Amino acid sequence: MKIINLKTKNWEIVKLGDIVTFQRGFDLPKSNFKNGNYPVIGSNGIIGQHNKFKAKGPGITIGRSGNLGEPYYIENDYWPHNTTLFSIKFHNSYPRFIYYLLKRMKLNRFNAGSAVPTLNRNHIHPIKVIVPKDITEQKRISDILSSLDKKIEINNKINVILEKIAQLLFKHWFIDFEFPNEQGQPYKSSGGEFIDSELRKIPKGWKICKLLDCGKIICGKTPPKSNKNYFGGNVPFIKIPDMHNNVFILKTVDSLTEKGKKFQENKTIPAKSIIVSCIATVGLISITSSESQTNQQINSLIPFYEPNLYYIYFKLKTLKDYFNTLGSSGSATLNINTKIFSNIKVIMPTNNILEKFNKIVSPIFNSILLNSRENLKLSQIRDSLLPKLITGKIRINLDDIKES
């Protein structure tokens, strides 16, 4: 199959409603979710499972309120939440092609609400779009783009499994205290000695440390936004939305120039720093992959001793509920200031055990980082191809398709 440059021959201008019909989703409070096999799709994607479905797959939802205009493709039967519009019929069109077409259209421009942003199907159905007449070409276009998305999805699933493997080892060694003793036997099961501590009984030789004893603590800061010379460079500027579902931070919405970085040089953190969200959304934990800065909602820990890195990462992930308790101060917004964060106490194993743990899990995290970097490249390729394929600037040679 060849991809060639052609004019948009055999493409036609139609209204969006001529190729797909949308309808508002159905209300379903979370309290009414019943465990089942059908995903409930909200404006941000899957928000839960239910034992009934309202729409047959394949289908597409569009964020109607909340994450406005964002399309989501679902292969199987599902429940479209009332925060979405969902496809009820495709008219001589290929569903995945429509999904990529909608991603290109950026429908959040068609906000029909006033105080509360909403998307109305009557406002998007009349939008004119150009599409291939031949559904085979639509399919081929979507196949190219979806092959990239599927590889990204596979890498994401692998990363989830890899992190769970490392997390299980962490639990076995540092929660159940079954790390190998000097004879290579599980410590607790083999009668290992424990001592009292202010947190709980811990293995002999271990200690209790404050986070400030484990690494340098830095609270982020935002340079003056009035100075445009500080923004738009190559230095990642991490904010809480960049952290969601990311072990390593590879991509950020905002970035700083060298001038912006030097304006607050003392806020620069190196690669392999642990960052923790501490305001509003508390308890998200990620690791930097390059020299970065963060905003004031994030506290960073630069480990004094590198083999501590993945132990502290998992230890902080176990403190999610504790972070929420610490952040509650009677106000609506959770807030863990840097002093409180620095004085959080954690159990610290001996260096010998930390080195053994780090030796095992480092290759796992290296694989996660490599997969994440590959995903970034794949998404850049997809995002570059999408507008060209979906508008006909790059065409699929249908003669080659018929021959193959």
Separation CA 45–CA 221 (nearest Å): 31
> Boundaries of CATH 1.10.287 in the chain?
141-182+350-404
- pLDDT for res 32: 95
- DSSP β-ladder status, 11-15 and 281-288: unpaired
Q: How confident is residue 197, by pLDDT bands cut at 50, 70 and 90? A: very high
CA atoms within 13 A on the CB side of 78: 27
Helices (H), 245-395: 258-263, 309-317, 320-327, 338-342, 351-390
Share of the chain above pLDDT 70, in %: 94
- Residue 251 CA to residue 254 CA, distance in Å, equals 9
Q: What is the fold, at CATH topology level, of the domain defined by 207-348?
A: Adenine-n6-DNA-methyltransferase TaqI; Chain A, domain 2 (3.90.220)
Q: Does domain 141-182+350-404 have CATH number 1.10.287?
A: yes
Per-residue pLDDT band for 115 (boundaries 50, 70, 90) equals low
Q: For residue range 334-374, what is the model confidence (pLDDT) as tens digits?
A: 899 999 999 999 999 999 999 999 999 999 999 999 999 99
CATH 3.90.220.20 in the chain: give the residue spans: 3-133, 207-348
pLDDT band at 8 (very low <50, low <70, confident <90, very high): low
pLDDT on residue 3:
43
CATH ID of 3-133, from 3.90.220.20, 3.30.200.20, 3.40.50.620, 3.40.50.300: 3.90.220.20
